[in-house]
Amino acid sequence: MGEFGFWNLAQSDPAHLALVDPDGGEMSAGELLAECNRLVHGLRALGLKPGDTIATVLPNSAAMIQAYLAVMQAGWYLVPINYHLTAPEIAYILQDSGAKAFLCHARHGDAGAAAAKEASFATDGRFAVGGDIEGFRPFEEAKQGQPDSLPEDRATGDIMNYTAGTTGRPKGVRRPSSQADPDTNAELNGYFLMLFGIMPRDNNVHLVVSPLYHTAVLRFASSSLHMGHTIVLMDRWTPEGTLELIERYKVSTSHMVPTQFHRLLALPEAEREKRDLSSLRCMIHSAAPCPIDVKRRMLDWWGPTIFEYYAATEGGGTLVTPEQWLKKPGTVGTPWPISQIRVLDDANAEVPPGTPGTVWIKMGDFSFEYHKDKEKTEKAKHDGFFTVGDIGYLDEDGYLFLCDRKIDMIISGGVNIYPAEIEGTLLAHPKVGDAAVFGIPHDDWGEEVKAVVEPSAGVAPGDELERELIAFCSERLAKYKIPRTIDFTTEMPRDPSGKLYKRKLRDPYWAGRERAI
């Protein structure tokens, strides 16, 4: 047997605590192995073959982890669907992915049942988790009576996440089948964490604070499993709950987003200081640019434990250690050993250091395609590199700095304005709980800067707060970057991981008009 990888570790140390579910239920590695083996046998009995797809609409749960582990040793693809989607959106992904099995939690049963009906999904492939759903069989029936032994003819599977997309419907990012066996592939997945200095076993506990339907969240959680770490699942994230779980389980690693940092920092000082956080070693963040002030305050609080990386569903990326970031605040780091970064202009020519352009990434020999969308695949690739449309620049030392997504960039009077910088400024104000900045139509300039702010708890929105925030920005930003107007909201449209659905805020202003980007 190899040094690590979930299946090897579960057989050599079946008593190891592998999983803690959101209700505090514990599963040993041996118990989790048995359940995922039974699921493979049960779904094979339904006729699933290598290359087939399983779709899930599941919260963070033991069932989600079992589905992942089943897929990864049966040669299937796992399509984790965002449980905030509507029935038609779920139905589209079920049809587009060609899923042969569909696992849905009862909490999302109405949308799941309507989606299955719209997609004409086979009844025998529908399974309900955590309760009853009309037209679905209980999840346990998929495993009932099946052996807990390792299946024969094991093959490596993969995750096929559907990108949110900036235009049109989302597309699945599908990679060619791995030629490595599941155990070797599991070890390779574990090696990824070594980029951050995270080693096998070593009493590590990984806290999952965001939904597992996100690419990075599932990748980090699964890599932790393969490294022999205990993973602790949160279902509904709260800053107070995060600190409590860190203290209770002696959490050493996690994967977070800047919004979660901001909300942790908003806790009363007494709440923050009463918890023992001495177990923290490597708290990794990504997904959006982190305001410099927010990250400095987190480093002051948690010490040199905060690592950052830049990547996409399609691949990655860069990495920056706490020490490197303090020397170059705002950077997302330098390329991984297996990656390369280029910054190109619109003619695909490299730009000089310090000049913003489109960021292009190459990750070894890894490849992907957008499922059933050859045109989109070709547009995203150039000379062996790919892009997701991010704008950034490399400094003289090769460190990458991100400006924003190209789709979010504001062009006002011919000047490029990056909302992330303005959002970071607003978030530094104590009366701002959350902020979003985007461009709205302007007859002369093309676009003007609009901000939407969610005030901090107990702060009243209104004209006085708007004037105060605009004055605050005026002291810190060039005039052309200052929001012309600020709207207020009681709750920003974010998913549980903190991802902002900016289009929901921006699109009403552009109804009947077309953006230049």
Query: What CATH number does the domain containing 351 carry?
Result: 2.30.38.10
Q: How many CB atoms lie within 10 A of CB 292?
A: 15
Whether 398 maps to a domain, the answer reads: yes
Residue 54 phi/psi, 5° resolution? -115, 130
Q: Does residue 82 sit in the same domain as residue 151?
A: yes
Q: Does residue 400 sit in the same domain as residue 414?
A: no
Whether 229 maps to a domain, the answer reads: no
Order of all β-strands in the sheet with 334-335: 26-28, 17-20, 230-233, 205-208, 253-256, 282-285, 306-312, 315-320, 334-335
Q: Does residue 384 sit in the same domain as residue 421?
A: no
Whether 19 maps to a domain, the answer reads: no
Q: Does residue 496 sit in the same domain as residue 419?
A: yes
Asked if residue 498 lies in contact with residue 492, where contact means CB atoms within 8 angstroms, the answer is no
Q: Mind listing the pLDDT tens digit for each residue in 207-228?
A: 999 999 988 899 999 999 999 9
Q: Does residue 401 sit in the same domain as residue 422?
A: no
Whether 311 maps to a domain, the answer reads: no
In the three-class reduction of DSSP (H, G, I as helix; E, B as strand; rest coil), residue 9 is classed as: helix
User: pLDDT tens, position by position, for the chain (517 residues)?
Assistant: 456 899 999 999 999 999 999 999 999 999 999 999 999 999 999 999 999 999 999 999 999 999 999 999 999 999 999 998 889 989 999 999 999 999 999 999 999 999 999 999 999 999 999 999 999 999 999 999 999 999 999 999 999 999 764 445 788 888 888 878 999 999 888 888 998 999 999 999 999 999 999 888 999 999 999 999 999 999 989 999 999 999 999 999 999 988 889 889 999 999 999 999 999 999 999 866 788 888 999 999 999 999 999 887 676 789 999 999 999 999 999 998 888 999 999 899 999 999 999 999 988 776 667 777 777 767 777 888 888 888 899 999 999 998 877 778 898 877 888 888 899 899 999 999 999 999 999 877 889 999 999 999 999 999 999 999 999 999 998 898 999 999 999 999 887 666 788 888 988 888 876 665 5
Structure tokens at 108: 């999302």
Of the three residues 407, 427, 443, the one that is the final residue of a domain is: 407
- The domain in which residue 434 lies consists of 409-510
E strand segments, 39-181: 53-57, 77-80, 101-105, 126-129, 137-138, 158-159, 173-174
Whether 147 maps to a domain, the answer reads: yes
Query: What CATH number does the domain containing 452 carry?
Result: 3.30.300.30
Q: Does residue 388 sit in the same domain as residue 467?
A: no
Whether 279 maps to a domain, the answer reads: no
Q: Does residue 399 sit in the same domain as residue 413?
A: no
Q: Does residue 423 sit in the same domain as residue 485?
A: yes
Peptide bond into 357 cis (omega under 30): no
Rounded to whole angstroms, how far apart are CA atoms 194 and 217? Answer: 17
Structure tokens at 258: 């800047």
Of the three residues 168, 191, 213, the one that is the final residue of a domain is: 168
Whether 317 maps to a domain, the answer reads: no
Whether 90 maps to a domain, the answer reads: yes
Torsional class of 24: left (φ above 0), alpha (ψ -120 to 50), beta (otherwise): left
Q: Does residue 391 sit in the same domain as residue 453?
A: no
Q: Does residue 35 sit in the same domain as residue 163?
A: yes
Residue at token pair 């810190």: 476
Of the three residues 168, 197, 227, the one that is the final residue of a domain is: 168
Q: Does residue 401 sit in the same domain as residue 413?
A: no
Query: What CATH number does the domain containing 136 carry?
Result: 3.40.50.980
Q: Which residues of 247-261 are buried (b: 16+ CB within 10 A; e: fewer)?
A: eebbbbbbbbbbbbb
> What is the greatest pairwise CA distance in the chain?
70
Structure tokens at 148: 């807990």
The domain total for the chain is: 3
Q: Does residue 376 sit in the same domain as residue 413?
A: no
* Residue (of 67, 233, 62, 82) closest to 142 by Cα position: 67
